[in-house]
Amino acid sequence: MLLHIPAVLTAEELAHCRAVLTAAQWGDGKVTAGQQSAKAKNNLQLPLNHPEHRALAELVLRALGRNKLFNSAAIPLRVVPPLFNRYDVGMEFRAHVDNAVRPIPKSGGMRIRTDVSSTLFLTDPDEYEGGELIIYDESGSRDVKLPAGDMILYDTTVLHSVQPVTCGSRWASFFWTQSMVRNDGQRQVLFNLDQQIMDLRTRLPDDDSAILGLVNVYHNLMRQWCDVM
């Protein structure tokens, strides 16, 4: 799945994030990379112990909680608190795959399986050159560069990279989700079905037999495929 989710942040939320990050002391992005991916990573990151990090992460999590498209596609069980990165001129992240399991900071040792990756763009495409997120999958490679406040969601199983920034600065929030549905094909089926139900509900009453039948199918599939442990 590769899904563009527009306007995850409101204009006010985006402005607040940018103001905080403008004043922040950034650290080395390698601190959250695995042993292999650290060799491919050259960027900056808002330190986890930064006094504003928790508030910014909670702002993004609240935005995700109200976003119907994210919840329909990811079917989230747990989300790693969002991180924030910055690519200045010459910085990049060469092709890599994200760790299959990641710790949740300050959780007493809790870890999650990473099923879904997300990048929430905090700078507009005209503020920097280069910096495209490249997704490599069975269909080839796809470039992603979205407006500030928009997010791309993709399966964590795929290789991906960030192209070198040649002008300006690229800022984003990124995080991983453990889905209640481990299998990406099953998540895609549920997402497609849910979107069809939402479309029908704009044209038919909620007690229409077709809608009730599809909702019944959706929840019965959830019962078969969901893992809530």
Residue finishing a domain among 144, 160, 179: 179
Which residues sit in the known binding site?
96, 98, 160, 170
Contacts of 169 (CB under 8 A, 6+ apart): 86, 87, 88, 89, 123, 127, 128
Give the pLDDT score at 106. 75
Which residues sit in the known binding site for 2-oxoglutarate?
170
Closest CA to 104 of 83, 120, 75: 83
Which residues sit in the known binding site for Fe cation?
96, 98, 160
pLDDT tens by residue, 133-188: 999 988 889 999 999 999 999 999 999 999 999 999 999 999 999 999 999 999 99
Can you give the CATH number for the domain in which 99 is found?
A: 2.60.120.620
Number of domains in the chain: 2
Q: Both 92 and 200 in a single domain? A: no
Q: Both 175 and 188 in a single domain? A: no
* Average pLDDT estimate for 193-197: 96
Q: Domain range spanning residue 209?
A: 184-225
Q: Both 191 and 220 in a single domain? A: yes
Q: Is the pLDDT of residue 226 over 90?
A: yes
Give the pLDDT score at 28. 85
Q: Which pair of structure tokens corresponds to residue 218?
A: 């959706």
Query: CA distances (Å), 209 to each of 143, 189, 193, 198, 216, in order?
Result: 42, 21, 16, 14, 10
